[in-house]
Structure 1
Amino acid sequence: MSGDTTAAPVLIAGAGPVGMTTALALHARGVEATILEAESEDRDRSGSRAIYVHGSTLRTLERIHPGLGTDLVDEGLVWPTRRTLYQGKEVFSRTYDSPGGSGDIPHFTSVPQVVTEAYMHDALEGAGIDIHWNAEVEIVDSSPDGVHVETSDGREWDGEFLVGADGGGSTVRKEIGANFEGDQSENAFIIADIEDEQIDGDQPDLERIFHYDAPEADGRNVLLVPFTGGWRLDIQCIEGDDPEELSSEDRMREFVCDIMGNEYEDDLKWVSSYYFLQVMADTFVDEHRRVLLAGEAAHLLAPFGARGMNSGVADADEAASAIAAAIDARTDAVVREEVELYAARREKAAEYNLDAAGQALEYLQGEDPVTVLRKEAAASLADHFEIAGEWLDDAPYGPHGTPPIVSTGNY
């Protein structure tokens, strides 16, 4: 072991929303942490990415750092109208008088992830929590007594615990021998940001629009969601599509004009295409119960229902709770029990979220004859039965509800 090894109670790999939430949640529980981030401080964070922040996430952030949740509420917006069209015909529309509910924390807020991260950075600075940039975790050695980490900047670190929040390509996950298991979406999806500086939370006519088989997009499914400063445009590719060609700037400008109007032609700011993975690690902890995986290091989900970052924040808060209890424990058995309870709870939550997102993904891209007939029947009945239109409006996001609470699992 090098004489230059730095000691910290808890090490966190990754300075994304999950890693930063973990550090803030630990600080709120009286445990200090150090964040190790692979990229530089000026890294590219373009794209709106996780724009839909659940009310439960906002409440968690407000609890662990008072003011953080309400700051995001102030920056974000709550769109009041849900609208759905089927092959160009409106089949459902509902406007809520109080779409966010009552109280300081609404049911959700729509805000770009870069804004969420900026407020988290401010919270870390206020709490005196350091991020070590250009410090990619390369080696993880855990033992019953703690964790030894080596980073790409040549430094070595010792901690009682390590939280791997280093994303889908997690080195921490690989170092503890955990493996991803699951599937990939059949079709690609194209995601674009369209700037609209006129959008703010005071506009009563904002709406989330879902198009089944949109004529404007040559029969592709389209989702349009407002957020502070712009619109998120999601286009589902169909069989035979070349995602690279469709996501080219010229082709996307055509989509924007056809779907949103010519006035938005020059407002395209960011485009990306994805095949969504539906995977989770076969274990969320190492054999010594000193390393905990959280967020995309532990699971990758299709985005329907906005379960990605939101479930990662829940992982982070529960990881912090487990670690805080384990650090104060006086027996090794209690240390193991706290960490294993974290794994049991969050693995069960990941299974639930994978299943929920998977149902939505299958509904959107599947060619099951029964599902196709149900969509067609609901569309034909929507003029006469609101429940049929509401089913079409709701189904693309998967089932509602929250993951079950468990006290035991595979440990």
Structure 2
Amino acid sequence: MKGKTNQRPVLVIGAGPIGLTAALALRRFEIPATIIEAEPKERIRPGSRAIYFHKATLEHWEDIYPGLGFTFAKHGVVWPVKRTLFGGKEVYIKRYPAPNRNELPPFTSLPQVEAEKFLYEACVAAGVEFIWNSPVRQVETNENGVIVTTESGEVWQADYVIGADGARSVVRQSLGIELEGPRSRDRFVVVDIEEDPSAPLPLERVFHYQHPAMGGRNVLFVPFAGGWRVDLQLFAEDDAQQYGNIEGVRQWIPKVMDKKYADRITWVSMYQFHQAVARSFTDEHCRVVLAGEAAHLFAPFGARGMNSGVADAVAAVKAIHAAFQEGERSKAKQIIAEAAQERKTAAQYNRDCAGLALEHIQGRSPVMNMKRELAASLSSIIPSLGKWLDEGPYGPKSGPPQLATKY
């Protein structure tokens, strides 16, 4: 295949949920869409990974492929209750009204593999072209377009490229765009647990500050369709292997759940807080737009990564569509540059929110500790303090008008 050149108006690099969203949005604007994916079609994606999808994300999917947002809502779960405890004492509880079947819910929760399945099926129905098992080796841009070379030597030319190839993005690295921002030392163990359908747990999202059975470590329980996500925050001095390997998890899970769940573990992983944003979301020629983890890395708390990535993909496609409509190259270039800057601003906002969330939950600041303990002690008298404790681990929900709900 070496030496062969393929022409396409737009290429999407990466067939994860962000790349699939970008391709589907292209088809919404009647632009041919081709996805180049490094892995084979039959790849196995372990674990639940991103499980929480905001209403704004469901609205994006519903807009680019009518019915898709409701498909997610139908197959996910919306928990009716969320609770927050501090040292074993409940400090906040909120009950949600039953969702209206004719409206998109405020969120839905289901495994990422299911999300990718629904997106892939929509892409196939919309006529998206897939090129599987083709790792990209190099991406080059000029004023006339983009040249993409795969590891096999195949060459692709396009007017525009959307880089959605994840945290180790070859697209971003080829363009010499660096990620900027710190990586925290804080480590979290994340565990997927299959629910027992014969005797399921109450459908509640529960956050424990200083769980008494875990030596004061924070523990988060999040239900999703078919199972539970359990996050355990480690202390700096903790042995990651002791808590983070499968045998270690089997030792501590019975301290926070029924012991039967120790035999229902399906996936264990570990992560650190990332707060990184690409220096630019486009290249100097404004021919490539980065989206999702190719453009930013956030901590999972607050579900900002996946949800902001979907917004990145939709914004990129809208800009590319507008650029195609614009006859003058300088104006088309400006359209791409402005869209890229807008999404970078959104990413910086999300990065700052993740930083505030980390400060809130890590328990290292004496001032923050004092605030948390005072809020917990007074939450029964001043409910707003309990709400502050509940929202703290996820960062602020509001921001500049264009960013507040669209992540």
TM-score (norm 2): 0.95
State the superposition RMSD in angstroms.
1.9
Gaps of 5+ in 1: 407-411
Post-superposition CA distance 1:349-376 (Å, at most 9, x none): 0011111111101111141111100111
Per-residue CA shift, 1:59-114, capped at 9, x if unaligned? 1001101111111100001001111111111122222233x467421110011111
Cα distance between partner residues in 2 of 1:280 and 1:86: 33
- 2:269 corresponds in structure 1 to 272
Q: Alpha carbons of 1:278 and 1:12: their partners in 2 closer, same or farther (altered >3 Å)? A: same
Q: CA deviation at 1:264?
A: 1.3
| Map of 2:107 onto structure 1 | 108
- Matched residues in 1 for 2:202 and 2:245: separation? 31
Quick one: distance in 2 between partners of 1:210 and 1:71? 28
Question: How far did residue 28 of structure 1 move?
Answer: 0.2
Query: Using the alignment, how far apart are the partners of 1:90 and 1:30 within structure 2?
Result: 52
* Match status 1:27 vs 2:27: yes
* Distance of 1:89 and 1:2 partners within structure 2: 65
The structure-2 alpha-carbon separation of the partners of 1:271 and 1:141, relative to structure 1 and needing over 3 Å to count, comes to same
Alignment partner, residue 11 of structure 2: 11
Residues 395 and 143 (structure 1 numbering): CA distance in 2 closer, same or farther, change over 3 Å? Answer: same
Query: 1: distance between equivalents of 2:22 and 2:38?
Result: 17
Other-structure match for 1:193: 192
Question: 1:210 and 2:207 equivalent?
Answer: yes
SS in 1 for 2:182: strand
1:12-411 equivalences in 2 (<5 Å): 12-98=12-98, 100=99, 103-196=102-195, 198=197, 205-405=202-402
Q: What is the TM-score of this pair, normalised by structure 1?
A: 0.94
One-letter identity of the residue aligned with 2:382: F
Matched-pair contact (CA < 8 Å) for 1:199–1:230: no
SS at match of 1:313: helix
Structure 2's unaligned 5+ residue stretches are none
Distance 2:194 2:201 in 1: 19
Separation of aligned partners in 1, 2:401 and 2:359:
22
* Structure 2 CA distance for aligned equivalents of residues 65 and 90 of structure 1: 42
User: After alignment, is 347-356 or 259-268 more displaced?
Assistant: 259-268
Greater than 3 Å deviation, 4+ residue runs: 100-103, 402-406
C-alpha spacing 1:403/1:31, structure 2 compared with 1 (3 Å): farther
The match for 1:409 is none
Distance 2:236 2:60 in 1: 41
Determine helix, strand or coil for the equivalent of 1:27: helix
Please give the alpha-carbon distance, in whole angstroms, between the structure 1 residues aligned to 2:3 and 2:154: 10
